[in-house]
Structure 1
Amino acid sequence: MIETERLLLREITLDDKENMLRLYSNPDVQKYTGEPVIESIEEIEKAILIRINNYEKYGYGRWATFLKNGMQFVGWAGLAYLPEFDEIDLGYRFLPEFWGLGIATEASHAILTYGFDKLELRKIIAIAMKENKSSIRVMEKVGMEFDKIAPYELGNEDAVWYWCDQKLITKKGIRTPTFRNI
């Protein structure tokens, strides 16, 4: 579990299926993902089981994200191994009512810190559709640097790729906030 000033991030479980369905059934949330809207609990359960498998296989994954004050579900954020590119991806997806509040930036800072300090990762990437200006801004705020525009499965369109390592973040003077690994 990862704790920041406002957020609590933990592994997604089958108990999160209603919250995850609320997230994945929202067309605004899915707009820039290239993934279809999910409308059934059965499909969500399958997606959650894949995430659980990733925790066991890689030791990390996407984490359910909550506001600490009231434990309100806001979405997910975390790391995912992309075997087709042999890269580790920072990703996040939040309910629209939590957009523009700095939650993606706060969660991303903590995840990068966790990835570099706890998991000792060498490099982390992030990928977004070119039209997803908000996501690109988050990548830049947390110290990631533009890499390339290249195809990705996000709706079969070219995507914007960013990357960072601990050295780059340090060089840019961006200090990732401390987190508590509970």
Structure 2
Amino acid sequence: MKTLIETERLVLREITLEDKEELFQLHADPKVQKWTGEPVVESLKEMEQAIRIRLKDFRKYGFGRLAVILKETNEFLGWAGLAYLPEFDKVDLGYRLKEKYWGMGIATEASEAIIDYGFNVLDLDLIIAIALPENKASIRVMEKVGMIYDKQAPYDEMIQEAIWYKLERKVYNKR
């Protein structure tokens, strides 16, 4: 397990198959999935398949979603990171945390570090983020980390209304 990013409270490391039970708990929680537009994950096998796809993407693109670990206790909080969306040819910032960690600034702390990593290590020019309109907490995180509202537009066939934010490296570097 390779640590890629550290913040004051967090370690962000590569996700492995050893994380499947923690990820299953996260993705099987209807309160968490409600805000994503994705169905609840129903089995460990389904979670393992999803992890394998993400691992392939990580190898292919050189980045991906990362396990978010609390330094103090080594507890798995959820995930955050970048993902290449080939259907849009864009790099997306995403995060998903266990409910008990909502409202603690963890998504913001992780996102700030990931954006910095994306622009200054991966040399990206643009990072986007997408949320359901009713996911006000996620939209607040996007705004806190300096992302700018882009549009309201479909994400896929299931999510016809999504809020899109973006941040360009040239804007980020002026801050």
- Is the TM value for this pair above 0.5? yes
What's the TM-score, normalizing by structure 2? 0.95
| Counterpart check, 1:53 vs 2:56 | yes
Q: 1:113 aligns with which of 116, 122, 134?
A: 116
Q: 1: distance between equivalents of 2:173 and 2:20?
A: 38
Number of residue pairs matched by the alignment: 172
Q: 1:74 aligns with which of 77, 80, 83?
A: 77
Q: 2: distance between equivalents of 1:110 and 1:153?
A: 28
Any unmatched runs of 5+ in structure 1? 174-182
State the percentage of identical aligned residues: 60
Q: 2: distance between equivalents of 1:5 and 1:101?
A: 13
Q: 2: distance between equivalents of 1:156 and 1:80?
A: 18
Deviations 1:146-173 (A, max 9, x none): 00000013842310000002221244x3
Q: Aligned letter for 2:20?
A: K
Q: 2: distance between equivalents of 1:133 and 1:170?
A: 26
Written as runs of structure 1 = structure 2, the 5 A alignment for 1:3-152 is 3-152=6-155
Give the alignment's Cα RMSD to 1 decimal.
Answer: 1.1
Deviations 1:46-99 (A, max 9, x none): 000011101100000000111001111100000000000000000000000000
Q: 2: distance between equivalents of 1:76 and 1:42?
A: 19
Q: 1:2 aligns with which of 1, 5, 22?
A: 5
Q: Is the 8 A contact 1:7 1:68 kept in 2?
A: yes
Secondary structure class of the residue paired with 1:36: coil
Q: Is the 8 A contact 1:8 1:68 kept in 2?
A: yes
Partner of 1:176: none
Q: Is the 8 A contact 1:34 1:154 kept in 2?
A: no
Written as runs of structure 1 = structure 2, the 5 A alignment for 1:162-181 is 162-171=165-174, 173=175
Q: Is the 8 A contact 2:12 2:69 kept in 1?
A: yes
- Identify the structure with bigger relative contact order (alpha carbons < 8 Å, sequence gap 6+): 1
What's the TM-score, normalizing by structure 1? 0.92
